[in-house]
Protein backbone atom coordinates (compact mmCIF):
# COMPACT_ATOMS: atom_id res chain seq x y z
CA UNK A 1 0.00 0.00 0.00
CA UNK A 2 1.08 3.53 -0.53
CA UNK A 3 1.36 5.89 2.36
CA UNK A 4 -1.07 8.77 2.34
CA UNK A 5 1.23 10.87 4.48
CA UNK A 6 4.92 10.86 5.10
CA UNK A 7 6.50 10.74 8.52
CA UNK A 8 6.76 8.38 11.48
CA UNK A 9 2.96 7.89 11.86
CA UNK A 10 2.08 7.58 8.21
CA UNK A 11 -1.18 5.75 7.52
CA UNK A 12 -1.77 3.57 4.50
CA UNK A 13 -3.97 5.02 1.76
CA UNK A 14 -7.68 4.35 2.30
CA UNK A 15 -7.53 4.33 6.12
CA UNK A 16 -9.91 6.82 7.66
CA UNK A 17 -8.69 9.35 10.15
CA UNK A 18 -10.50 11.31 12.81
CA UNK A 19 -13.61 10.17 14.72
CA UNK A 20 -14.91 8.03 11.87
CA UNK A 21 -11.60 6.14 11.67
CA UNK A 22 -11.66 5.54 15.43
CA UNK A 23 -15.19 4.14 15.22
CA UNK A 24 -14.27 1.78 12.37
CA UNK A 25 -11.21 0.58 14.27
CA UNK A 26 -13.30 -0.02 17.40
CA UNK A 27 -15.80 -2.10 15.40
CA UNK A 28 -12.95 -4.23 14.05
CA UNK A 29 -11.55 -4.82 17.54
CA UNK A 30 -14.96 -5.80 18.90
CA UNK A 31 -15.61 -8.21 16.04
CA UNK A 32 -12.22 -9.85 16.65
CA UNK A 33 -12.90 -10.06 20.40
CA UNK A 34 -16.30 -11.79 19.98
CA UNK A 35 -15.05 -14.26 17.40
CA UNK A 36 -14.25 -17.71 18.85
CA UNK A 37 -10.56 -18.62 18.83
CA UNK A 38 -11.11 -22.11 17.46
CA UNK A 39 -13.73 -24.47 16.14
CA UNK A 40 -13.84 -26.22 19.54
CA UNK A 41 -14.62 -22.93 21.25
CA UNK A 42 -17.39 -22.28 18.70
CA UNK A 43 -18.95 -25.66 19.55
CA UNK A 44 -18.68 -24.87 23.28
CA UNK A 45 -20.41 -21.51 22.75
CA UNK A 46 -23.17 -23.22 20.81
CA UNK A 47 -23.66 -25.82 23.58
CA UNK A 48 -23.77 -23.07 26.21
CA UNK A 49 -26.37 -21.19 24.16
CA UNK A 50 -28.53 -24.30 23.77
CA UNK A 51 -28.27 -25.10 27.52
CA UNK A 52 -29.25 -21.53 28.37
CA UNK A 53 -32.18 -21.68 25.95
CA UNK A 54 -33.41 -24.98 27.47
CA UNK A 55 -33.04 -23.55 30.99
CA UNK A 56 -35.06 -20.45 30.08
CA UNK A 57 -37.72 -22.64 28.45
CA UNK A 58 -38.00 -24.79 31.60
CA UNK A 59 -38.42 -21.64 33.69
CA UNK A 60 -41.07 -20.36 31.29
CA UNK A 61 -43.00 -23.65 31.32
CA UNK A 62 -42.82 -24.08 35.08
CA UNK A 63 -44.63 -20.81 35.70
CA UNK A 64 -48.20 -21.38 36.82
CA UNK A 65 -49.73 -19.08 34.22
CA UNK A 66 -48.39 -21.11 31.28
CA UNK A 67 -49.66 -24.36 32.75
CA UNK A 68 -53.02 -22.74 33.46
CA UNK A 69 -53.15 -21.54 29.85
CA UNK A 70 -52.50 -25.06 28.56
CA UNK A 71 -55.20 -26.52 30.81
CA UNK A 72 -57.59 -23.77 29.70
CA UNK A 73 -56.93 -24.54 26.04
CA UNK A 74 -57.72 -28.23 26.59
CA UNK A 75 -60.90 -27.45 28.50
CA UNK A 76 -61.87 -24.96 25.78
CA UNK A 77 -61.45 -27.61 23.09
CA UNK A 78 -63.61 -30.04 25.08
CA UNK A 79 -66.22 -27.35 25.69
CA UNK A 80 -66.26 -26.52 21.97
CA UNK A 81 -67.25 -30.09 21.13
CA UNK A 82 -70.09 -29.89 23.66
CA UNK A 83 -71.32 -26.59 22.20
CA UNK A 84 -71.09 -27.94 18.64
CA UNK A 85 -73.14 -30.97 19.64
CA UNK A 86 -75.71 -28.78 21.37
CA UNK A 87 -76.09 -26.55 18.32
CA UNK A 88 -76.01 -29.30 15.66
CA UNK A 89 -78.11 -31.88 17.49
CA UNK A 90 -80.58 -29.75 19.42
CA UNK A 91 -80.82 -26.08 18.45
CA UNK A 92 -80.57 -26.39 14.64
CA UNK A 93 -83.21 -29.15 14.39
CA UNK A 94 -85.57 -27.14 16.62
CA UNK A 95 -85.07 -24.01 14.49
CA UNK A 96 -85.52 -26.03 11.28
CA UNK A 97 -88.64 -27.79 12.61
CA UNK A 98 -91.16 -25.17 11.38
CA UNK A 99 -89.63 -25.23 7.88
CA UNK A 100 -89.20 -29.02 8.01
CA UNK A 101 -85.46 -28.77 7.06
CA UNK A 102 -82.16 -29.76 8.57
CA UNK A 103 -79.72 -26.86 8.36
CA UNK A 104 -76.64 -29.08 8.20
CA UNK A 105 -77.79 -30.53 4.87
CA UNK A 106 -78.60 -27.21 3.14
CA UNK A 107 -76.33 -26.46 0.18
CA UNK A 108 -76.19 -24.71 -3.18
CA UNK A 109 -75.17 -26.60 -6.28
CA UNK A 110 -73.15 -24.38 -8.64
CA UNK A 111 -71.77 -26.33 -11.53
CA UNK A 112 -70.09 -29.38 -10.04
CA UNK A 113 -69.41 -27.66 -6.71
CA UNK A 114 -71.58 -27.95 -3.61
CA UNK A 115 -71.52 -24.95 -1.23
CA UNK A 116 -72.76 -26.08 2.17
CA UNK A 117 -74.15 -22.90 3.70
CA UNK A 118 -76.19 -24.92 6.19
CA UNK A 119 -73.05 -25.84 8.13
CA UNK A 120 -72.20 -22.14 8.32
CA UNK A 121 -75.70 -21.28 9.53
CA UNK A 122 -75.31 -23.96 12.22
CA UNK A 123 -71.92 -22.64 13.33
CA UNK A 124 -73.16 -19.06 13.92
CA UNK A 125 -75.21 -19.97 17.04
CA UNK A 126 -72.26 -22.06 18.28
CA UNK A 127 -70.01 -19.01 17.99
CA UNK A 128 -72.43 -16.76 19.86
CA UNK A 129 -72.95 -19.37 22.58
CA UNK A 130 -69.17 -19.70 23.06
CA UNK A 131 -68.79 -15.91 23.07
CA UNK A 132 -71.44 -15.51 25.79
CA UNK A 133 -69.88 -18.22 27.96
CA UNK A 134 -66.38 -16.75 27.58
CA UNK A 135 -67.70 -13.27 28.35
CA UNK A 136 -69.36 -14.50 31.54
CA UNK A 137 -66.20 -16.39 32.52
CA UNK A 138 -63.97 -13.35 31.94
CA UNK A 139 -66.41 -11.14 33.82
CA UNK A 140 -66.36 -13.51 36.82
CA UNK A 141 -62.55 -13.71 36.80
CA UNK A 142 -62.23 -9.92 36.65
CA UNK A 143 -64.70 -9.52 39.52
CA UNK A 144 -62.73 -11.93 41.72
CA UNK A 145 -59.49 -10.11 40.84
CA UNK A 146 -61.06 -6.80 41.79
CA UNK A 147 -62.15 -8.18 45.16
CA UNK A 148 -58.70 -9.68 45.69
CA UNK A 149 -57.01 -6.37 44.83
CA UNK A 150 -59.24 -4.51 47.28
CA UNK A 151 -58.39 -6.98 50.04
CA UNK A 152 -54.67 -6.62 49.31
CA UNK A 153 -54.89 -2.83 49.47
CA UNK A 154 -57.11 -2.48 52.52
CA UNK A 155 -56.37 -5.69 54.42
CA UNK A 156 -58.97 -8.01 55.82
CA UNK A 157 -62.40 -6.49 56.39
CA UNK A 158 -62.80 -5.31 59.97
CA UNK A 159 -65.54 -6.68 62.15
CA UNK A 160 -68.26 -4.18 62.94
CA UNK A 161 -67.73 -2.59 66.31
CA UNK A 162 -70.58 -3.05 68.74
CA UNK A 163 -72.84 -0.05 68.75
CA UNK A 164 -72.47 2.00 71.91
CA UNK A 165 -74.47 4.88 73.17
CA UNK A 166 -74.09 7.39 75.94
CA UNK A 167 -76.40 7.01 78.91
CA UNK A 168 -78.51 10.12 79.34
CA UNK A 169 -78.43 9.96 83.17
CA UNK A 170 -74.81 9.03 84.03
CA UNK A 171 -73.11 9.92 80.68
CA UNK A 172 -71.29 6.56 80.59
CA UNK A 173 -71.00 4.54 77.39
CA UNK A 174 -73.43 1.62 77.32
CA UNK A 175 -73.33 -1.24 74.78
CA UNK A 176 -76.60 -1.84 73.01
What are the residue ranges of CATH 1.10.1200 in the chain? 64-107+116-154
> What pTM does this model have?
0.43
103 burial (CB, 10 Å; 0-12 / 13-18 / 19+) is buried
pLDDT, tens digit, for every residue of 26-60? 666 656 555 556 667 777 778 888 888 888 888 77
- Specify the pLDDT at position 3: 46
Report how far residue 130's alpha carbon sits from residue 34's, in angstroms, rounded to the nearest whole number.
Answer: 54
pLDDT, tens digit, for every residue of 121-175? 888 888 888 888 888 888 888 888 888 777 777 766 566 666 777 887 888 887 7
Dihedral sign computed on CA atoms, order 37, 41, 46, 51 = negative
Report how far residue 86's alpha carbon sits from residue 129's, in angstroms, rounded to the nearest whole number.
Answer: 10
Query: Quick one: CATH architecture of 64-107+116-154?
Result: Orthogonal Bundle (1.10)
- Specify the pLDDT at position 18: 54
Amino acid sequence: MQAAESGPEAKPAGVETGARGWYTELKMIRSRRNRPKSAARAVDLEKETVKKLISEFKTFISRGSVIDLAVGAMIGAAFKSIVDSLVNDMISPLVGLPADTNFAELSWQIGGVSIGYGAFVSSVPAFFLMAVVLFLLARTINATRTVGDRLKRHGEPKAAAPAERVCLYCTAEVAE
